[in-house]
Amino acid sequence: MIRFKAAATLGAFTLDATFESDARVLALFGRSGAGKSVTIALIAGLMRPDQGQITVDGRVLVDTEANIFVPKHARRMGVVYQDARLFPHMTVRQNLMFGRWFAGEAHRSAPQRVGFDAVVDTLGIGHLLARRPGRLSGGERQRVAIGRALLSSPRLLLMDEPLAALDDERKREVLALIERLRDEFKVPIVYVSHAIEEVARLAARVVVLDGGRVVASGGVDEVFGPSESQAGESRFARSSVRDLSVRTALAGTVAAIEIDDGPLAAVTVTLKGGAHLVALATRMAVDELKLKGGDPVFALIKAVALDERSVSL
């Protein structure tokens, strides 16, 4: 269980957020500058709030009224940032073993600890163990950083866009490991991502931040489904295409809808002119919109959401 109620000011930006969750994976979702990274820093002990309380599993980490502030090294938080932040003078193996050393003897020998070989194999970094970070690509450095955090056997794993530098194959492998941590090792995770498909696969609860405030909170289907927008409460949907910040709106019709056992559905849209695109939507959204083959739709596209590797000419 995490309880977060804190306010902090950084220059012109103010975070004033309140949320709580007992979900194994809590996702923080929102546009750049919404306050997600500040929230992570406050939980990790990298920043002090101006006021508030932060509690994890009943342990008070911050209480400004009681003058409680547990230092970061005593919180046992594993943090993975967008950039790797590896020790440049250490080899990959030494960086990974630092995570294991940081866990302490009691946690290194615990039955639920994360195995070194499992992390190395899953992240595909066995051939990199003798190298130093300066000889790694950006994606390789990020994989090592994830491994180091996992090997610290953290009380809480804080992941800030951890897959941003990985290719699709490695993303799938790392997602599988995170699912294993969630399901088998019971490592609670606060997961920051702009990718709805990652959030839908991993998280049980989502907190949406905008301008330093919580604007939505709930299950994946509650937050990303259409029910709130139909009630006029969503900050992420409008009644007119012209009211959106998205500048590319393509008219088409639903050609097919593929649904498996997961939370997402793949919706194939035939555009005017005969081109096709595939969009991911939650199954709840498909049900509540009553989408079916032949329905007219608009595909709203932002360039940053495109994966050019999947485009063929």
Interval 119-150: pLDDT, tens: 888 788 999 999 999 999 877 888 898 889 88
- On the question of pLDDT at 180 being above 80, the answer is no
Span of 26-35, 53-62, 229-238, 255-264 with lowest mean pLDDT: 229-238
Q: For residue range 225-249, list pLDDT tens digits in order.
A: 644 333 333 333 363 444 444 445 6
Domain coordinates in residue numbering, the chain:
2-221, 239-310
- Predicted local confidence at residue 252, as pLDDT: 84
Q: Which of 98, 146, 154 is nearest to 125 (CA)?
A: 146
Fold of 239-310: OB fold (Dihydrolipoamide Acetyltransferase, E2P) (2.40.50)
Q: Please write the tens of the pLDDT for every residue from 264-303.
A: 788 899 987 778 888 877 777 788 788 889 888 877 665 4
- Which of residues 54 and 262 earns the better pLDDT score? 54
Which range among 84-88, 101-105, 259-263, 273-277 shows the weakest confidence by mean pLDDT?
101-105
Per-residue model confidence (pLDDT) at position 305: 46
CATH topology of domain 2-221: Rossmann fold (3.40.50)
Mean pLDDT of the chain: 81
Q: How far apart are CA 106 and CA 219, in angstroms?
A: 35
Q: What is the pLDDT of residues 89-98, one digit of tens each?
A: 999 999 999 8
Please report the pLDDT score of residue 128 as a whole number.
96
For the segment 153-164, what is each residue's pLDDT rounded down to a tens digit?
A: 888 999 998 887
* Segment among 99-108, 205-214, 227-236 with least mean pLDDT: 227-236
Is 84's pLDDT higher than 80? no
pLDDT at 207 over 90: yes
